[in-house]
Structure 1
Amino acid sequence: MSATDPIAVFLTEAAELLEQIEAGLLDLTHRLDDKDQIDAVFRGLHTLKGSGAMFGFDALAAFTHHCETAFDRVRKGDVPATQELVSAVLAAQDHMRALIDQPNGDHEETSLVLLTNLQMAVDGKAGAPIAVPAGASAAVPVTAVKTQDGQKTWKIRFSLPTNAMANGTNPLGLLDELRELGTCIVVADTKAVPPIDLLEPTDIHLAWDVTLTTKSGRDAIEDVFIFVMDEMQLEISEAGGAPVAQAAKPAEAVAAPVVATPEPVAAAASAAAKDAANDSRQPAKVAENVRVPAERLDELMDRVGELVIAQSRLSQLADASVEIQLRAVSEDIERLSGELRDTMMVLRMMPVASLFGRFRRLVHDLSRETGKVIELVTEGETTEVDKTVIDRLADPLVHLVRNSIDHGLEPPAERAAAGKPEAGRIQLSARQSGGEVIITIKDDGRGINRERVRAKAESSGIIQPGAVLSDQELLQLIFQPGFSTAATITNLSGRGVGMDVVKKTVEALRGAIDVVSNPGQGSEISLRIPLTLAIIDGLLIRVGKGAYVIPLSAVEECLELSIEDDMRSRGRSFISLRESLVPYIRLRELFRTGTKPDPFQKIVVISTGTERVGLVVDQIIGDHQTVIKSLSKLHHDVATFSGATILGDGSVALILDVAHLVASGQQQEAHLRAAG
């Protein structure tokens, strides 16, 4: 599809409109009488309907027309805005996304259920809304057939996002869980698999058709996919028979369905004219932004990285030359490449507000689902992070927020008994610290029960009974695979999956996780993430005959270690630094260089948060603009290094993993203190 394809333009604008509609609806949940928000939601629905009709999305236009009519009645004062109406339109807004993603799908049943709920909300009728069928995007009819022993046969079709395996989801594990429910027949759909020369080994292109005979119900099947349901396509139906539950058509529709007009362009023009008439107070938008595909930015970043490497080579040649003109040109190129690098970094930066905004809807839905009163507070939304970092942090933050709500926040009655406000508080904050951004998820719930964590870890064989652990080591156990202290499995958590995926994702971003928890007061989980994944400022060092790079943002200071001090500290590798002992690691021994130490070794003190460790090196060469190159898959388990870079002379320097080295130094300190 070309970049100028009008359908592609519509899809982009529709995604923005849906985000605006969702934000307006969530704002209305706090201020139901806010006429500006009511008007904003109405305009968004009206524009989406007109654009959908213009580009041939007739089902979207017809469905959106009902929601638009409902908000038009609210806008005119005919009916009040209620929480039930907002929730009904929020659910309808999710269905609009499905109508855009799958315009030719069978959406009739889901549309009918949602419009029934919308009609009930507009009429102010009490009662629970009709449940929307699972896999709403496909709306497969649910049919019933029972065997003599009470078992049912279910037809299940599911497909995962292309990057699911990269985010830690194993489709084989999902199939194994389905097999545990009963007799299972699995058929893989390979139609979407690309030619082998275009195939990425880490991407998923398969879909699966499963025939499951089980005594379990739909809820048990949906629980298998609970942690990936937001991103996947899932269809569940019972085999054979007539439909079990068909939503009755509303006696009076909110408005007559929109009939596809033979002149969609004229219809869209009419819609635009009505928009202008209804909102003459709004100033005309000025096209100040240019949409650029992310792939082009990534390609440009690669070119800038190669330019930085070439500039480093040129600087090295100029330093060895006596030609003054060559040195002058080298300095100009160095200045220009530095400015280009900084400009490129800014282009890739996005405020974390785009990430935090997604959680308003999540918290709203979970509040209704759990019956807990939840207040979401965000801080530091203007903090900017690399776009790639934001994309990869979305799923980990969802897991953390879900766990804070399920495990952390108490029900209203329990909070009242503890003297806490009825509303539990979830705080998302972001701040920049050097070359890192620190994203914090904080709640004021019950905190982490350390006794239960230890008991679960010992019973699972993660640690030995009675093992001596620091408080931070104990809290870090919650990120072990399969670890969960939940007494029962819920729709939110309890299966022991999710938190280990969080840790793997953060570590893949060269980040670290800090946990602080006070019983009865809540928990705070901080993610320390690099601002960018492409180019960093590094400190170039030499150990033996090899060159290595330490991210400059982690460097606190450099000290000299004489041979006498080195020999004196043998057996207890500590230095006294302003009345505190800092452990240090001899990189020459860690890397087994087989060389003798330089007469005057150096200690580079690095830190992650409050923890520090020293690295003994032979020589500090100086500052170096580091273009990060990923290690091959053969080296994915080498924890000491996070990547590599190419030096000016063409040689390779490995980039040290600061978080791993600091953790190793702290463990060494703990062992020495225990032995002493």
Structure 2
Amino acid sequence: MTNDADALFLVEARQLVESLEQGLLDLKSRPDDRALIDGVFRDLHTLKGTGAMFGQVELAQFLHDFESAFEAVREGRIPATPALINLGLKARDHVTTLLDGGPSGPGADLLADLQDLVTGAGDAAGVEAPDWSLTFHLAPDCLVLGARPQGLLDDLRSVGASGIEPVLGRLPDLRAMQADRLYIGWRMTLPSTLDEAAIRDVFLFNEEGLEFDLHRDGSAEPQPEEDPPAAMAAQPKGRERAMMRVPAERLDEMMDRVGELVIAEARLAEIAARLGDPNLVAVAEEIKRLATGMRETTMSIRMTPIGSITGRFRRLVHDLNDTLGKEIALEIAGEETELDKTVIEMLADPLMHLIRNAADHGLEPAADRRALGKPEAGTIRLSARYSGAEVVITLADDGRGLDTARIRARAEARGLVAADAELDEAAIRALILAPGFSTAEAVTELSGRGVGMDVVKRTVEQLRGSIDIDSEPGHGTQIHMRLPLTLAIIDGLLVEIAGERYTIPLAAVEHIIELPDEHATAGNRTRFLDIRDQLVPFLRMRDLLDSPGDPGPYQKVVVVTAGELRVGLTVDRIIGSSQTVIKQLSPLHASLKTFSGATVLGDGSVALILDVPQLVAFGQGRDSMEAA
């Protein structure tokens, strides 16, 4: 295989593996669902077939027996028991190992377990499979291509075909008949001992244009197989929406190019406005329109539904049921909510840890839940929703909640907080995000080493997001993460503070007002504005940034939202809105949490991008210190 073909096979195979896993997990709760059984069988069959096509012999051989087992389930000869489904999940894991180049040895043990399970289930069911009924038509032009129907019929007889008879319903009028066209099909019976794969193998070199109907006598005809993936079909069929796969790095490179285009467009607009040439201004406006369209299209390509990673969470909860001996239900809402693919990729591991934490620490054992009047099965709920240009992801459980007294005691014992420190409930809950913090009494494979929650916090901060924790003792815990839709290009509000220009993410801006005269001087310590009959705190940006000089007249207040808070930021001048290409700060400046990056303006100068949640937190902390 070429490198491209190998990469293409791995992409398609991993998608089939994910689909297989989801089918098995769904089948555990709906073991009699015929559509699910058919779906699992199709995934196994397609994965086996494409593996053989691309030279993955060990993979194809391993999947052959598992396909036969689920064929027996599909035909009603054995039930889809939890034991069979668990074995199927282990087989899925082994397939992943084989795709990663791992050893094939463990597969033999799985196949032995499968054989014992299927034999025992078949004996218990006491069902004897009926014979196969086969009807097929070869492609009408197969004779021109060298097919030999007589030889094919001989091969079918050699595997036990009987009662062979022609199907003549497609014979045309004698005057319309062409000598090199095949109009006849055949119908026959095959022994029940044959598996479907062995029958299909007879048609290995006659698949092009083949019409194939195989089912057990007396059973409903199975639904037709799905078309093979477009990338792997010999001659792809027409589709309503053509799909194409491209490597992720090409999307990243495309996004970088679009970012540079946006910067160049801003510079062109600046030059056109300065020169005042009508023709140049018209061209600059057209390029701006095209650059905006390119930006929106590229960003839409990069957007990925959060449902693309929730499958692994369902598998995790399935395994945790056995590991912890608890009955856990996972509920997911908002799977269609989309985020930038980079954000999605970085979120997967933190969410896995939060789910493990909720299952291990949050949910009580069944006996304790019964005593508390709760359902024996604990519930973990993952939800995602849009909030402006952000997405709010919430991980909640209905467990015991956080014990703030215990959290504080453990934090003091580990030196994470002073014994005389004054902390409110929210601050105490936030201690579980500190590095090295753990309330576990013993180290297990799931928890106890004091790592994990700090990684969650660090990842969310890297994504320019924020994390909040709510909890009610006895009623569970909710962890809310607010994240930007994209990390590449945003709409920004350009402002001036003490002669320097800064960008505020436009999604965080609620409205802009004039700073009242009574608040214009720093000597006035009142830090609240009456805006639409609500008191809104405001921060003097000159003070926060330690800017020199005195502010001029007519200061503006940009009212922004940070989580559930509304805060005003005083600025000297509003310059306007613009597309903002986010450039990461150097490692030397990475500790400046109040800035999420920088952007290049139309005149080539650089403006820092304000991180609103971090800025508000910094301002509140500074006010508290001054008040003390």
Please confirm whether the aligned pair reaches a TM-score higher than 0.5, indicating the same fold. yes
- The 2-side partners of 1:272 and 1:444 are apart by 55
Check whether the contact 1:356–1:428 (CA below 8 A) recurs between aligned residues. no
Residue in structure 2 matching 1:114, options 110, 113, 116: 110
Cα distance per residue 1:287-312 (max 9 Å; x no partner): 62111111111111111111111111
Match of 2:46 in 1: 47
Letter of the structure 1 residue corresponding to residue 549 of structure 2: T
Match of 1:420 in 2: 374
Residue aligned with 2:415, SS: coil
Distance 1:424 1:271, change over 3 A: farther
- The 1-side partners of 2:440 and 2:479 are apart by 18
- The 1-side partners of 2:68 and 2:92 are apart by 14
User: What is the CA-CA distance between 1:272 and the residue it aligns to?
Assistant: 11
- TM-score, normalized by length of structure 1? 0.75
- The 2-side partners of 1:497 and 1:423 are apart by 27
Distance 1:608 1:64, change over 3 A: same
Check whether the contact 1:584–1:613 (CA below 8 A) recurs between aligned residues. yes
Q: Which stretches in structure 2 are left out of the alignment for 5+ residues?
A: 122-192, 216-221, 228-236
1:532 and 2:486 aligned: yes
Residue aligned with 2:323, SS: helix
Check whether the contact 2:433–2:457 (CA below 8 A) recurs between aligned residues. yes
1:345 and 2:344 aligned: no
Match of 1:517 in 2: 471
Residue in structure 2 matching 1:617, options 571, 574, 585: 571
1:555 and 2:551 aligned: no
User: What is the CA-CA distance between 1:318 and the residue it aligns to?
Assistant: 2.2
1:335 and 2:289 aligned: yes
Residue aligned with 1:556, SS: strand
Check whether the contact 1:572–1:672 (CA below 8 A) recurs between aligned residues. no
- The 2-side partners of 1:275 and 1:363 are apart by 40
Residue aligned with 2:29, SS: coil
- The 1-side partners of 2:344 and 2:55 are apart by 33
User: What is the CA-CA distance between 1:544 and the residue it aligns to?
Assistant: 1.1
Check whether the contact 1:583–1:666 (CA below 8 A) recurs between aligned residues. no
Check whether the contact 1:54–1:267 (CA below 8 A) recurs between aligned residues. no
User: What is the CA-CA distance between 1:373 and the residue it aligns to?
Assistant: 1.1
Check whether the contact 1:607–1:613 (CA below 8 A) recurs between aligned residues. yes
Match of 1:651 in 2: 605
Residue aligned with 2:515, SS: strand
Check whether the contact 1:439–1:528 (CA below 8 A) recurs between aligned residues. yes
Match of 2:559 in 1: 605
Distance 1:328 1:613, change over 3 A: same
Cα distance per residue 1:621-672 (max 9 Å; x no partner): 1112100011112211111211000000000001111121121233345556
Distance 1:331 1:457, change over 3 A: same
Distance 1:669 1:297, change over 3 A: same
User: What is the CA-CA distance between 1:572 and the residue it aligns to?
Assistant: 4.8
Residue aligned with 1:365, SS: helix
1:291 and 2:209 aligned: no
- The 2-side partners of 1:99 and 1:333 are apart by 50
Cα distance per residue 1:25-73 (max 9 Å; x no partner): 0110111111211111112111211222222211111111121121112
Letter of the structure 2 residue corresponding to residue 554 of structure 1: A
Task: Output the aligned Cα RMSD.
Answer: 2.7
Count of residues in Structure 1 that have an aligned counterpart in Structure 2: 537
For residues 50-449 of structure 1, the aligned pairs below 5 Å read 50-102=49-101, 105-108=102-105, 110-124=106-120, 281=224, 284=227, 286=239, 288-449=242-403
For residues 624-643 of structure 1, the aligned pairs below 5 Å read 624-643=578-597
Match of 2:12 in 1: 13
Cα distance per residue 1:212-250 (max 9 Å; x no partner): xxxxxxxxxxxxxxxxxxxxxxxxxxxxxxxxxxxxxxx
User: What is the CA-CA distance between 1:605 and the residue it aligns to?
Assistant: 2.1
Specify the structure having the higher radius of gyration (Cα). 2
Letter of the structure 2 residue corresponding to residue 375 of structure 1: A
User: What is the CA-CA distance between 1:97 and the residue it aligns to?
Assistant: 0.9
Distance 1:303 1:356, change over 3 A: same
Cα distance per residue 1:397-443 (max 9 Å; x no partner): 11111111111111111111111111111111111111101111111
User: What is the CA-CA distance between 1:558 and the residue it aligns to?
Assistant: 2.0
Distance 1:471 1:671, change over 3 A: farther
Check whether the contact 1:33–1:81 (CA below 8 A) recurs between aligned residues. yes
Match of 1:456 in 2: 410
- TM-score, normalized by length of structure 2? 0.80
Residue aligned with 1:399, SS: helix
User: What is the CA-CA distance between 1:586 and the residue it aligns to?
Assistant: 2.3
User: What is the CA-CA distance between 1:493 and the residue it aligns to?
Assistant: 1.5
Residue aligned with 2:295, SS: helix
- The 2-side partners of 1:121 and 1:655 are apart by 61
Check whether the contact 1:51–1:268 (CA below 8 A) recurs between aligned residues. no
Distance 1:419 1:585, change over 3 A: same
Residue aligned with 2:382, SS: strand
- The 1-side partners of 2:522 and 2:407 are apart by 41
- The 1-side partners of 2:208 and 2:47 are apart by 10
Distance 1:645 1:465, change over 3 A: same
Check whether the contact 1:583–1:665 (CA below 8 A) recurs between aligned residues. no
Check whether the contact 1:630–1:644 (CA below 8 A) recurs between aligned residues. yes
User: What is the CA-CA distance between 1:276 and the residue it aligns to?
Assistant: 7.5
Question: More deviation in 40-49 or 590-599?
Answer: 590-599
User: What is the CA-CA distance between 1:7 and the residue it aligns to?
Assistant: 2.2
Letter of the structure 2 residue corresponding to residue 66 of structure 1: D
Distance 1:437 1:372, change over 3 A: same
Cα distance per residue 1:533-565 (max 9 Å; x no partner): 000001101111211101111112223225642
Question: More deviation in 382-391 or 319-328?
Answer: 319-328
User: What is the CA-CA distance between 1:77 and the residue it aligns to?
Assistant: 1.9
Match of 1:574 in 2: 528
Q: Which stretches in structure 1 are left out of the alignment for 5+ residues?
A: 126-253
Cα distance per residue 1:361-407 (max 9 Å; x no partner): 11111112111111111111111111111111111111111111111
Match of 2:24 in 1: 25
Match of 2:434 in 1: 480
Check whether the contact 1:557–1:604 (CA below 8 A) recurs between aligned residues. yes
Distance 1:88 1:438, change over 3 A: same
Residue aligned with 2:93, SS: helix
Letter of the structure 1 residue corresponding to residue 224 of structure 2: R
1:585 and 2:539 aligned: yes
Check whether the contact 1:603–1:616 (CA below 8 A) recurs between aligned residues. yes
Cα distance per residue 1:331-373 (max 9 Å; x no partner): 2222221111111111111111112222111111111211111
- The 2-side partners of 1:526 and 1:275 are apart by 53
Question: More deviation in 82-91 or 332-341?
Answer: 332-341
Distance 1:381 1:400, change over 3 A: same
Residue aligned with 1:420, SS: coil
Cα distance per residue 1:443-464 (max 9 Å; x no partner): 1111111111111111111111
User: What is the CA-CA distance between 1:120 and the residue it aligns to?
Assistant: 3.9
- The 2-side partners of 1:73 and 1:348 are apart by 42
- The 2-side partners of 1:276 and 1:591 are apart by 75
Cα distance per residue 1:96-148 (max 9 Å; x no partner): 1111211xx4331x1233223323433458xxxxxxxxxxxxxxxxxxxxxxx
